[in-house]
Amino acid sequence: MFLTTKELAHRWRISPRTLEGWRDKGIGPCYTKIGNRVRYHIDAVERAEHDWSTVAPELL
């Protein structure tokens, strides 16, 4: 399953322009470009969510 830039932006509550900026800087989840369409594989999205998650200090 793949997400569009708009779908991922909605999921993460950020603007599509933020994702575009991250792509330009080489940060953010891996993506595939088909023609001029960008798609994010759900596995890459979930991996990024896991890698970027933090645990509140009081839960450690």
- pLDDT tens string 3-40: 999 999 999 999 999 999 999 999 999 999 999 999 99
What's the pLDDT at 31? 96
Whether pLDDT at 59 is above 60: no
Domain count, the chain: 1
List the domain range (segments joined by +) for residue 13. 2-54
CB 50 within 8 A of CB 42: no
- Looking at the domain assignment, is residue 60 inside a domain? no
What's the pLDDT at 52? 85
Whether pLDDT at 57 is above 80: no
Region at 31 (left for phi over 0; alpha for psi -120 to 50; beta for the rest): beta
Coil/strand/helix, residue 40: strand
Picking from 48, 57, 43, 58, the residue whose alpha carbon sits closest to that of residue 14 is 48
Confidence of residue 58 (pLDDT cuts 50, 70, 90): low
